[in-house]
Amino acid sequence: MGLLEDKVVLVNGGSQGVGAGIVRAALREGATVAFTGRRVEVGEELAAETGAHFVPADLADPDQARDSVIRAVAEHGRVDCLVNAAGLTSRGSLLDTTPELFDAHVAINLRAPFFAMQAAVKHLVGREAPGTIVNIITTSAHGGQPFLAPYSASKAGLAGLTRNAAHAHRWDRIRINGLNIGWTDTEGEDAIQRAFHGAGDDWREKAARSQPMGKLGQVDEIADFVVFLLSERSGVVTGSVIDWDQTVFGGLD
């Protein structure tokens, strides 16, 4: 028996990167999986590869964020687990962030998870069924680099929302947790490093040498941890925002 046997899992932002890793891990552990993404070609390719159900959606639209749950329920009869993995990481400092960039970060990193969670919790409460939600956050929610001002602000809001919703719905047996992931080796990170930091083809090797464990965070490792949090093996844990990184926050040299 897999950890998610007979569960229906929706992964928002699941067409690439960490989200796609979670789609694969949930399928491996026996779940029926639906996932959303903006890029239809990418989503359809993953669906063809894995057999997961692709739901095209632009999560910046709160109606589409809510509808992602409704459409998954319509297709599979229910949703037991939700993962909010979509994230906008474009750069901006306190001094150069425009209102448009700030709003874009809030739309994807905070508002979309809020309304997807709203729909999922309403569905679970209506069924009188337990469920689990995992929000992919970031260690930058602790403060972050100067060039991640809108990203850090929006993800810090998601950390607060995770705790608030977990507290509000603990008696409904809906467990809600967050994962503060650190620097991770994804397609999106590769594009960001090249576009904003002038990185060359060897940036991963250089980055790995700068890390205590000699590597960046790996998608499959994060995905396995998310599956654990979604599953009953994580027990009663709710309202936790876990630092999944090799930086020890609060430690000083």
Q: Which residues are catalytic?
A: 151
CA distances from 201 to 194, 198, 205, 207, 215 (A): 9, 10, 9, 11, 16
Nearest in space to 233 (alpha carbons), one of 2, 24, 1, 3: 3
Give dist(CA 160, CA 164) in Å, integer: 6
Alpha-carbon distance of 190 to 168, in angstroms, equals: 38
Evaluate whether 159 touches 176 at the Cβ level (below 8 Å). Answer: no
Distance of CA 84 to CAs 123, 180, 207, Å? 16, 12, 27
